[in-house]
């Protein structure tokens, strides 16, 4: 019955607050000019869930009613066509000079040319609601926060408005939000049923948490693979707020969580940022104590991985926090908890509203300090950047596709870069060998990133070879270093280099021959080539791939190089050239016309070692038991990145697949394969592979297939467990209860980087001639294939970066990560790691393209 008590206390606090002033949950009547959410919606906030467009409509209504205080800033549209928008709320004086406040802030930190005006700079506080769509309470809270901030009788709001510009994002992930809310509203009867087993508390797959393509948008802040993130971050970079709060929900049973965050903190979080975590905690706890609400701090949610809504702003100079309310997609309007209390939507809203306003108050009380410290962060970044390396050099002799993709990531994060401009030799750290070298040759066209720039801290963190982990119990991956993700030859230099703005003029390309070429060749080394292949195959243009490297007209080409010859494409006649050139322009692939197929080294174009590629008909298995992002990454890869058709098939429908119409079946991680791939379906799949099908198993799907009849993959015997048994003295290995989290993690490797030994002569390794680094998330322990091809494997010392527990490190020695089994006329591709993880491991996209288009031809 505790909730009754809490409600009573809340009401008492609300009543006393209207007299005494300080409780932000007080909802004293705002100016009569402004509709309350209830007046506008026709129901009280908390009585039901509000669809995204109605939440925005309320903001629009308020903006119409008080245009001098509220400005809507639309910033884009989702895949499903929903509007994205933030709402700026300020005093009349500040709103009238809103753009000046914004540009002054950018000028102060060096992100915009010019000197800031001398006018006082208010703090800019940005609160983000509902990044995880089924944590839908915070979009409801948004409406209350907006209304309260405009309440002239609320002294806390007045204080906030005098000192800050507030930016509220009502819903970062409207597709996910409406997926949940529409579903919930359909499930609900006349009133909410708090029974946990009721269907309204059991959201079906994939759930509203994710984006349209089932990505986790709160892992995407730095990588910006999703359209909602790209559009929002473009706006974020134009504002660069001083504070960012990110509102979430978690399990039903958990009390509220606010700052200070848990360890580990990234080592580069400043003292001011750390101290402010404490300040926020004090402000929030003051209100939560008064209302008798339970909360916790300093546990579970850490500040390390750079692509969250708290760490990303922190590495961009702001104070960044996460707030977590118990509930999420499970709680509905009301749910009974284990202790017998009922948690209501209204309670959840109250907590987020209170934490929002307490946070804004903490900034308002210290606005000049917050602004000053923010400026100092950027002064340091520009003049005395952190980290050992003062410049990074990225060799241009690799591949234009990779380099361009990296540049796009830098652009999106407003990290500036240029070119070396002249040849020189300097000492530097070689990311590939992981050693310091005395003389690194730098060519004029190499890309140079200077650490002396506003985004220096973010740059350092994205590029550090190994991130220092102060405490290993973390929530997420522990390594992400960009040179490894992109597979680009990179050096960290302790010397400061000043990059030149323009690339040195490339040697003038020879005038295009008027002769019709014999063929076109495309180097197979990064995504543009895969995209081009997908585009050509879609148009039914005949493409071949060279199995061996070759030399032609003075140039060398690696294995996998695509060849589009006139032969086989006669039906396109003279149109062929235009079609091929258009695809090269669209994708940026490296296209060379050649006048002969008679190579100086390697195999001629008519050889058996030059194989014709098929346009595969592809399907991915999704549905119950699949980790939604694991399925979404595959879907997104085909649909958005390759623009190549893929059938998305629910696991339950596998029994009715017409196998004759399928060439490639992709199995992402799923915990339910035992049910989907029962004996009957598995027999059909095996028959299909026998007659030419290709099965690609990822992560947990490899473990599912391991040991099954017909599949060559085997897990090794767990020697360490046996050793432990043998050791005898059982008392030595007893675990301390208090250490249980720590003991468990010695088996884990929650995203660490390993260097993979690659057989780049195999089609699965094509184009990976500079090696391959993988992000290991599961310490599977596979034996080498006896009959198949061991294309990617770890030897005994391949660890590079990130946390890898003692036992996990042991397991990852002499282990297969990527293998191909020939199976009748078909094949099985085993990929123990997910090369498409979060869509940010750029080099993995080529590897996956190999699995789909190259293997088994």
Inter-residue contact 297 to 289 (CB < 8 Å) = no
The nearer residue to Zn ion, 223 or 772, going by C-beta atoms, is 223
The nearer residue to Zn ion, 135 or 361, going by C-beta atoms, is 135
The nearer residue to Zn ion, 309 or 788, going by C-beta atoms, is 309
Nearest-approach distance from CB 248 to Zn ion, in angstroms: 3
Structure tokens of 86?
């933030």
The nearer residue to Zn ion, 549 or 628, going by C-beta atoms, is 628
Point out which span in 130-138, 284-292, 526-534, 706-714 binds Zn ion (CB under 5 A): 130-138
Nearest-approach distance from CB 717 to Zn ion, in angstroms: 39
Nearest-approach distance from CB 324 to Zn ion, in angstroms: 7
Peptide bond into 206 cis (omega under 30): yes
Per the document, the length of the chain is 857
The nearer residue to Zn ion, 219 or 811, going by C-beta atoms, is 219
Nearest-approach distance from CB 136 to Zn ion, in angstroms: 11
Q: Would you give the binding string for Zn ion spanning residues 261-300, x where CB under 5 A is met?
A: ----------------------------------------
Point out which span in 120-128, 133-141, 644-652, 693-701 binds Zn ion (CB under 5 A): 133-141
Point out which span in 241-249, 252-260, 521-529, 763-771 binds Zn ion (CB under 5 A): 241-249
Nearest-approach distance from CB 331 to Zn ion, in angstroms: 13
Please name the helix (run of DSSP H) or strand (run of DSSP E) that holds residue 280, with its range, or none: helix 271-291
Nearest-approach distance from CB 556 to Zn ion, in angstroms: 50
The nearer residue to Zn ion, 219 or 455, going by C-beta atoms, is 219
Tell me the CB-side half-sphere exposure of residue 113, using CA atoms within 13 A: 0
Residue 248 binds Zn ion, judged by CB under 5 A: yes
Point out which span in 124-132, 187-195, 691-699, 714-722 binds Zn ion (CB under 5 A): 124-132
256-257 and 295-296 beta bridge pairing: parallel
The nearer residue to Zn ion, 131 or 370, going by C-beta atoms, is 131
Binding residues for Zn ion, total number by CB under 5 A: 3
Point out which span in 98-106, 242-250, 554-562, 834-842 binds Zn ion (CB under 5 A): 242-250
Nearest-approach distance from CB 70 to Zn ion, in angstroms: 27
Q: Show Cβ contacts of residue 318 under 8 Å, excluding neighbours closer than 6 positions.
A: 240, 241, 242, 243, 244, 374
The nearer residue to Zn ion, 135 or 547, going by C-beta atoms, is 135
Nearest-approach distance from CB 461 to Zn ion, in angstroms: 22
Nearest-approach distance from CB 557 to Zn ion, in angstroms: 47
Nearest-approach distance from CB 160 to Zn ion, in angstroms: 25
Point out which span in 128-136, 164-172, 362-370, 564-572 binds Zn ion (CB under 5 A): 128-136
Nearest-approach distance from CB 309 to Zn ion, in angstroms: 9
Point out which span in 244-252, 360-368, 428-436, 798-806 binds Zn ion (CB under 5 A): 244-252
From residue 388, alpha-carbon distances to 385, 410, 441, 493 in Å are: 9, 20, 20, 8
The nearer residue to Zn ion, 135 or 227, going by C-beta atoms, is 135
User: Nearest to residue 711, comparing CAs of 629, 826, 852, 575?
Assistant: 826
Q: Show Cβ contacts of residue 536 under 8 Å, excluding neighbours closer than 6 positions.
A: 543, 562, 564, 579, 580, 583
The nearer residue to Zn ion, 310 or 583, going by C-beta atoms, is 310
Alpha helices in 555-603 (DSSP H): 575-587
The nearer residue to Zn ion, 108 or 838, going by C-beta atoms, is 838
**CB-neighbour burial class of residue 792 (10 A; exposed 0-12, middle 13-18, buried 19+):** buried
Inter-residue contact 231 to 84 (CB < 8 Å) = yes
Report the side by side order of strands in the sheet with 295-296.
70-77, 83-89, 164-169, 123-129, 243-250, 319-326, 256-257, 295-296
The CA-based diameter of the chain, rounded to the nearest angstrom, is 91
- The CA distance from 50 to 184, in Å, is 11
Nearest-approach distance from CB 132 to Zn ion, in angstroms: 4
Based on its alpha-carbon atoms, the radius of gyration of the chain, rounded to whole angstroms, reads 29
**CB-neighbour burial class of residue 377 (10 A; exposed 0-12, middle 13-18, buried 19+):** buried
SS (H, E, C) 103-114: HHHHHHCCCCCC
Helix (H, G, I), strand (E, B) or coil at 710: coil
Nearest-approach distance from CB 133 to Zn ion, in angstroms: 9
Nearest-approach distance from CB 328 to Zn ion, in angstroms: 7
CA 769 to chain centre: 26
Residue 811 binds Zn ion, judged by CB under 5 A: no
The nearer residue to Zn ion, 257 or 711, going by C-beta atoms, is 257
Nearest-approach distance from CB 559 to Zn ion, in angstroms: 44
Residue 219 binds Zn ion, judged by CB under 5 A: no
The nearer residue to Zn ion, 207 or 317, going by C-beta atoms, is 207
**CB-neighbour burial class of residue 578 (10 A; exposed 0-12, middle 13-18, buried 19+):** exposed
SS (H, E, C) 812-854: CCCEEEEEEEEECCEEEEEECCCCCHHHCCHHHHHHHHHHHHH
Give residue number: closest CB to Zn ion. Answer: 248
Point out which span in 129-137, 174-182, 647-655, 829-837 binds Zn ion (CB under 5 A): 129-137
The nearer residue to Zn ion, 209 or 212, going by C-beta atoms, is 209
User: Nearest to residue 767, comparing CAs of 466, 532, 503, 552?
Assistant: 532
Structure tokens of 248?
């979430």
The torsion angles phi and psi of 327, rounded to 5 degrees, stand at: 150, -85
Point out which span in 181-189, 240-248, 329-337, 647-655 binds Zn ion (CB under 5 A): 240-248
Point out which span in 126-134, 304-312, 342-350, 639-647 binds Zn ion (CB under 5 A): 126-134
Point out which span in 143-151, 154-162, 245-253, 744-752 binds Zn ion (CB under 5 A): 245-253
Nearest-approach distance from CB 632 to Zn ion, in angstroms: 16
- The CA distance from 409 to 414, in Å, is 9
- The CA distance from 353 to 368, in Å, is 24
The nearer residue to Zn ion, 308 or 841, going by C-beta atoms, is 308
Point out which span in 157-165, 246-254, 438-446, 668-676 binds Zn ion (CB under 5 A): 246-254
Please name the helix (run of DSSP H) or strand (run of DSSP E) that holds residue 410, with its range, or none: helix 400-412
Nearest-approach distance from CB 634 to Zn ion, in angstroms: 23
The torsion angles phi and psi of 114, rounded to 5 degrees, stand at: 105, 165
Instruction: Return the exposure string of 256-269: e unless at least 16 CB atoms fall within 10 Å of the residue's CB, then b.
Output: bbbbbbbbbbbebb
The nearer residue to Zn ion, 217 or 849, going by C-beta atoms, is 217
The nearer residue to Zn ion, 52 or 845, going by C-beta atoms, is 52
Nearest-approach distance from CB 458 to Zn ion, in angstroms: 22
Point out which span in 31-39, 115-123, 237-245, 247-255 binds Zn ion (CB under 5 A): 247-255
The nearer residue to Zn ion, 135 or 268, going by C-beta atoms, is 135
Q: Show Cβ contacts of residue 25 under 8 Å, excluding neighbours closer than 6 positions.
A: 10, 13, 14, 17, 287, 291, 350, 353, 354, 357
Q: Show Cβ contacts of residue 764 under 8 Å, excluding neighbours closer than 6 positions.
A: 789, 791, 792, 818, 820, 829, 847, 850, 851, 854, 855
Of positions 132, 460, 811, 845, contacts Zn ion by CB under 5 A: 132
Q: Which residues of this protein are in contact with Zn ion, per CB under 5 A?
A: 132, 135, 248
């Amino acid at each position: 019955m505790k909730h009754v008590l809490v409600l009573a206390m809340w009401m008492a606090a609300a009543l006393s607050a209207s007299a005494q002033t300080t409780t932000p949950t007080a909802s004293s009547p705002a100016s009569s000019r402004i509709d309350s959410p209830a007046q506008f919606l026709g129901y009280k906030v908390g009585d039901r869930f509000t669809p995204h467009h109605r939440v925005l409509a309320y903001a629009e209504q308020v903006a119409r009613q008080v245009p001098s205080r509220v400005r809507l800033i639309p910033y884009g549209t989702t895949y499903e066509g929903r509007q994205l928008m933030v709402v700026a709320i300020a005093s009349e004086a500040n709103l009238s000079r809103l753009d000046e406040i914004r540009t002054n802030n950018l000028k102060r930190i060096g992100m915009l040319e010019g000197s800031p005006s001398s006018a006082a700079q208010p703090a800019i506080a940005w609160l983000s609601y509902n990044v995880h769509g089924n944590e839908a309470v915070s979009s409801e809270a948004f409406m209350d926060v907006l209304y309260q901030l405009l309440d002239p009788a609320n002294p806390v709001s007045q204080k906030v408005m005098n000192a800050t510009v507030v930016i509220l994002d009502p819903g970062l992930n409207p597709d996910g939000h409406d997926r949940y809310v529409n579903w919930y509203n359909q499930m609900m009867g006349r009133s909410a049923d708090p029974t946990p087993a009721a269907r309204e508390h059991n959201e079906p797959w994939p759930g509203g948490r994710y984006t349209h393509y089932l990505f986790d948008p709160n892992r995407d802040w730095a990588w910006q693979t999703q359209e909602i993130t790209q559009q929002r971050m473009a706006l974020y970079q134009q504002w660069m707020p001083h504070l960012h709060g990110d509102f979430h929900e978690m399990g039903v049973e958990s009390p509220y969580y606010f700052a200070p965050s848990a360890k580990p903190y990234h080592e580069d979080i400043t003292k001011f940022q750390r101290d402010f975590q404490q300040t926020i905690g004090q402000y929030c706890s003051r209100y939560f104590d008064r209302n008798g609400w339970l909360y916790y701090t300093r546990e579970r949610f850490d500040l390390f991985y750079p692509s969250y809504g708290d760490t990303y702003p922190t590495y961009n100079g702001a104070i960044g926090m996460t707030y977590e309310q118990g509930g999420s997609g499970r709680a509905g309007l009301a749910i009974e908890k284990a202790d017998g209390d009922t948690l209501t939507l209204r309670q959840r809203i109250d907590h987020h509203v209170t934490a929002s306003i307490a946070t804004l108050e903490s900034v308002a009380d210290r606005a000049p300090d917050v602004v000053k410290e923010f400026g100092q962060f950027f002064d340091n970044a520009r003049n005395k950047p952190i980290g050992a390396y003062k410049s990074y050099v990225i060799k241009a002799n690799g591949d234009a596709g990779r380099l361009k993709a990296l540049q796009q990531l830098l652009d999106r994060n407003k990290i500036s870069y240029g070119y070396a401009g002249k040849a020189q030799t300097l000492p530097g750290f070689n990311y590939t060998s992981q050693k310091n070298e005395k003389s690194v040759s730098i060519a004029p066209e190499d890309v140079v990133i200077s650490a002396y720039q506003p985004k220096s801290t973010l740059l350092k963190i994205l590029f550090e070879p190994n991130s220092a982990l102060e405490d290993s119990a973390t929530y997420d991956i522990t390594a992400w270093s960009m040179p490894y993700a992109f597979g680009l030859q990179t050096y960290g230099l302790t010397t400061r280099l000043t990059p030149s703005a323009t690339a040195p003029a490339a040697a003038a390309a020879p005038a295009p021959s008027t002769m019709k070429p014999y063929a076109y060749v495309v180097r197979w080394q990064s995504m543009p080539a895969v995209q081009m292949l997908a585009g050509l195959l879609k148009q039914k243009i005949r493409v071949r791939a060279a199995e061996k490297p070759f030399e032609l007209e003075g140039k060398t080409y690696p294995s996998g190089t695509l060849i589009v010859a006139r032969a086989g494409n006669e039906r396109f006649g003279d149109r062929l050239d235009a079609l091929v050139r258009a695809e090269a322009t669209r994708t940026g692939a490296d296209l060379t016309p050649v006048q002969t197929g008679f190579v100086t080294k390697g195999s001629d174009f008519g050889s058996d070692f030059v194989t014709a590629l098929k346009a595969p008909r592809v399907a991915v298995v999704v549905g119950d038991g699949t980790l939604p992002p694991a399925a979404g990454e595959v879907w997104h890869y085909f649909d958005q990145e390759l623009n190549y058709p893929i059938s998305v098939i629910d696991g339950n429908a596998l029994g009715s697949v017409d196998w004759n119409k399928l060439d490639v079946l992709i199995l992402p991680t799923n915990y339910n394969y035992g049910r989907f791939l029962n004996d009957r379906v598995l027999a059909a799949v095996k028959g299909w592979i026998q007659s030419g099908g290709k099965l690609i198993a990822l992560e947990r799907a490899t473990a599912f297939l391991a040991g099954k009849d017909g599949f060559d993959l085997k897990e090794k015997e767990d020697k360490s467990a046996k050793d432990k048994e043998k050791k005898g003295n059982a008392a030595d290995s007893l675990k301390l209860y208090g250490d249980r989290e720590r003991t468990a993690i010695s088996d884990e490797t929650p995203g660490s980087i390993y260097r993979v030994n690659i057989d780049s002569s195999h089609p699965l390794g094509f184009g990976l001639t500079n090696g391959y680094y993988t992000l290991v998330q599961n310490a599977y322990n596979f034996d080498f294939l006896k009959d198949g091809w061991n294309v990617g494997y770890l030897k005994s010392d391949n660890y590079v970066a990130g946390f890898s527990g003692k036992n996990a490190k042991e397991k990852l020695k002499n282990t297969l990560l990527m293998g191909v089994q020939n199976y009748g006329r078909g094949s099985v591709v085993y990929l123990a790691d997910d090369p498409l993880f979060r869509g940010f491991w750029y080099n993995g996209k080529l590897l996956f393209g190999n699995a789909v288009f190259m293997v088994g031809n």
